Structure 1
Amino acid sequence: MAIQTTDVEGSIFDATQLLGLHVTEQKGNEVYLAAGAVHHELVYIESETNGIHSIGLLAKDGDALRTIRRRVEDENLRIISEGPECSGIEDGFSFVGPEGWIFEVFIDMQPAEPGRLSFGPDRYGHINFHPRDVRGMMEFLQRTLDFRLSDIIGDDYAYFMRCSPDHHGIALIQGQGTFHHHAWQAQSIVDLGKLGDRLNRVGRELIWGPVRHGAGHNVAAYYVETSGAVVELYTDLEQIYDENRPPVKWSGEENWWNMWSSYRPESFRDFGIPPVTNRH
């Protein structure tokens, strides 16, 4: 994820002191952070607005990158960069997808020294955003980027989609065209409790959780970062190794959001930030 933020120092504090990422590079108005030994999994860009700069997707290899490039052309989508926009990437391109969301598809990210051994997630996990045309976005991700359906919620209400054994790499919920959260994998539910303690010490709080989701089965906790986006720390996400597994279907009335309770904060989906459009 690349996120534009009006308070880059506050965003760095949240990512390093609350979530537990480490800074790998600072370049101009860009700050690169990671959980593991890669150049970056999250980028903050100092800006006059808070919003999503781009969604990064790792292609399998050069052939896959070229295939996606051809599909993007066939969709008549606007290419905004013929090369990598972010530091630490060998090759890639960026384009404007449905509803103005900018995607950067890349290969060969350079490794980096792992951060200090203290606390933090194992790796970046997935994103959740709320397109206006949720079915159209789902079909675009299937058609152009080879995402597969894991769970379907209601009648065109939500789709959980995967591109690896993880139950979902992208979750889509019908909404107002905003990005909701970026999610990070922890080793155990104990890490979620420690996150709550760190938030409490600086006068902040979880906005929901820990909960056990039905769709994906992960245990998760959420807080709001400085940019206005939500951050999820989770563990125990379902793994799907059968590429032909049919999607699990939930009715709109079923409790797919929390297997431990029917409670869900009414304000939970009100958080989030929009895509930043017309960058070029």
Structure 2
Amino acid sequence: MSWGLISEMGHVGLQTTNLQGSVFDATQILGLRETERTDGTVYLSAGDVHHELVYVESDIDGVDSFGLVARDGDALREIRRRVDAEGFHIVSNTPRGAGIQDGFSFVGPEDFVFEIYIGMQTDTAALKSFGPDRYGHINIHPRDVTGMMKFLHRVLDFRLSDVIGDDFAYFMRCNPDHHGIALVKGRGTLHHHAWQAQSIADLGKLGDRLHKLGRDLIWGPVRHGAGHNIAAYYVETSGAVVELYTDLEQIYDDNRDPVIWGADENWWNMWSSYRPEEFRQHGIAPVVRRPQNLLR
């Protein structure tokens, strides 16, 4: 169910200096499956679609693109009209990767690339193994957090679910999921990409897998106030954070007013006020794609 132009979150594309290590993390720690591999690019999925995560071999670690699924062809064309009207730089007039029928890509605020598309191929797993059910959301730390919020609402029809403080954080949705994109004021980075598990037991098993490898959860399990999800986090090879979560709030009232949190209220963990100081220092920046004469 979606009221607007974007019906669901599509995929996260990351550039990585260690393709083998990134794919290991995605398949052996998170539990995704590889669906296709081309020269220097690996497509992975949790659900029955061609891809929800894409790794591109590169000489830098960074954000390649965020994929968003348009409601239909009319919605795709309306988004393109809005993007052109605002003068955003078009990266590609056709899908940039495999498995997509139609779409385009553009450089949005703070150099993040958004790929808008319809018609992703299905790819059904032969057997269900461990791992999440689907890709859920991203958490971005823009420098101009209010400007990013207004862009997502004005151009892509996202709506506000929660507001934290004054010009600090916004949680935004494109369907009943409490948030598809969370914005927290920061250094202009992607902090984490998040994946929906079936139960809190899956978060415990994630911790066990990391322990076997001599690696750590960097936070969690916690019960967030904004979104109500139970979540655990670790750092993947590219430097981005991965969240595995369950029990995210669903909002079926399209016109529900956003929940307002004071700057000092504990919106981050209903079970404790503790929050690791280094948690927000993780993340990776976008790979700049705009021509030099358009950089600002």
TM-score by length of 2: 0.94
Q: Give 1:242's aligned residue.
A: 253
Q: Give 1:16's aligned residue.
A: 27
User: Structure 1 CA distance, aligned partners of 2:202 and 2:252?
Assistant: 26
2:47 pairs with 1:36? yes
User: Structure 2 CA distance, aligned partners of 1:89 and 1:191?
Assistant: 31
2:267 pairs with 1:256? yes
Q: Give 2:176's aligned residue.
A: 165
Using the TM superposition, give the Cα deviation of residue 115 of structure 1 relative to its aligned residue in structure 2, in angstroms.
Answer: 5.4
Using the TM superposition, give the Cα deviation of residue 116 of structure 1 relative to its aligned residue in structure 2, in angstroms.
Answer: 3.6
Structure 1 residue identity aligned to 2:115: E
Q: What does 1:96-245 correspond to in 2, within 5 Å? A: 96-114=107-125, 116-245=127-256
8 A Cα contact 2:178 2:250, kept in partner: yes
Identity within the alignment, %: 70
Q: Deviations over 1:82-118 (max 9, x none)?
A: 0000100000000000111110000010001215422
8 A Cα contact 1:22 1:115, kept in partner: no
User: Structure 2 CA distance, aligned partners of 1:278 and 1:17?
Assistant: 31
2:273 pairs with 1:269? no
- Determine helix, strand or coil for the equivalent of 1:106: strand
Residue 174 and residue 190 in structure 1: after superposition, are their counterparts in 2 closer, same or farther (change >3 A)? same
Using the TM superposition, give the Cα deviation of residue 279 of structure 1 relative to its aligned residue in structure 2, in angstroms.
Answer: 6.7
Q: Which ranges of structure 1 fall in alignment gaps of 5 or more residues? A: none
Using the TM superposition, give the Cα deviation of residue 192 of structure 1 relative to its aligned residue in structure 2, in angstroms.
Answer: 0.1
Using the TM superposition, give the Cα deviation of residue 120 of structure 1 relative to its aligned residue in structure 2, in angstroms.
Answer: 0.4
- Determine helix, strand or coil for the equivalent of 2:65: strand
The alignment covers a number of residue pairs equal to 280
Q: Deviations over 1:100-144 (max 9, x none)?
A: 111000001000121542200000000001000000000000000
Q: Give 2:68's aligned residue.
A: 57
User: Structure 1 CA distance, aligned partners of 2:255 and 2:282?
Assistant: 34
User: Structure 2 CA distance, aligned partners of 1:86 and 1:68?
Assistant: 20
User: Structure 1 CA distance, aligned partners of 2:97 and 2:225?
Assistant: 35
User: Structure 1 CA distance, aligned partners of 2:89 and 2:128?
Assistant: 42
Higher alpha-carbon deviation: 73-82 or 211-220 = 73-82
Q: Give 1:25's aligned residue.
A: 36
TM-score by length of 1: 0.99
Q: What do you get for the CA RMSD once the two structures are aligned?
A: 0.8
